[in-house]
Structures are given as C-alpha cells and as structure tokens.
Amino acid sequence: MHRRSILWAAASAFGAAFAASRASAATEAPPTKKLKVVYHLNDLDKVSSVVGNIQNHLDGVGGPDNVTIALVVHGQALRAFHASAANPDLTRHIGQFAKAGIELAVCGNTMKSQKVGLADLLPGFISADQGGVVRIAELQSQGYLYLRP
C-alpha cells in the first residue's frame, strides 16, 4: 500500500508540474506579426476621415514601426491631393505619412482622366500605373488587410 501512495504522489507531482509549465506557456504572448493594412480611398467627401483614420491607426499601434500601411487613392478623392488645392492640414499629414514610410499610391488611370501628373500632386505619391484597384488586389495578395472607411 505504501508503494501505491509513493507512485500516486509522484504521478500527481509530475502532473502538477506539467500543468504549471503549460499554464506558463499559455500566458506568454507569442511574437506578434506586424500587420499590413491598405486603405482604399475614392470618395472626395471621405478624404479627411480616412486621413484621420490612418493617423489614429499609427497612434494606436505606437507608430509606423508597428504597422505597414498603404493608401491607394483613385476617383474623385484624388482632387483633394492636387498640390494647388490641398489644405494645409492635409498637406502636413501627407508629408508626415510619406516620412513614416506609408505607401501613397495614386491610380494611373485616374491621373490620366484628370490630366494630372505626379508633379501636380502633394509630394510623396507614387503612381499605380496598372490602376488603383489592381494595386489594392496586389497588396491584398501580399497579406495586407483591406480597409475602406
């Protein structure tokens, strides 16, 4: 009978140690994967909202080191980013986004239809020559989450 008690105690101690090690492993945070997000903007009336969302996103995750963000602009929204017409607040934000490494892509088809070039836009934009929606699809295929506020 004494042997059974010893075996039972040993098995119980082993089980408790195993359970404690699993509980410890469960509470350790796994390394987080840096999120990649693409914002889709084509409505002129949503420009300030989307720019605000991007800024809030950066602030919420602790800055551009913790997230990869792309903004793809096409359609009527592009009018807000013409350098000659952009408001100072938008100009400041776009400059900050460009410095933070945010990809600022503009649809090549929209540029053609509006008869503008990159030189006519706020600094920092690149052309998505194949089209804005194609660029969005490419980014999604690379693991970017799609946001269209």
Overall domain count for the chain: 2
Strand order in the sheet with 67-73: 125-128, 103-107, 67-73, 35-41, 145-147
pLDDT in tens, 27-82: 555 556 889 999 999 999 999 999 999 999 999 999 999 999 999 999 999 999 99
Q: Do residues 85 and 39 share a domain?
A: yes
**Nearest residue to 65 via CA among 102, 105, 104, 103:** 102
pTM of the predicted model, to two decimals?
Answer: 0.78
pLDDT in tens, 105-130: 999 999 999 999 999 999 999 999 99
Q: Do residues 15 and 40 share a domain?
A: no
**Nearest residue to 37 via CA among 66, 76, 74:** 66
Q: Do residues 39 and 26 share a domain?
A: no
What SS3 class is residue 86?
A: coil
Task: Return the DSSP state at 63.
Answer: S
3-state percent breakdown (helix, strand, coil) of the chain, nearest 5: 60, 20, 25
Q: Do residues 46 and 108 share a domain?
A: yes
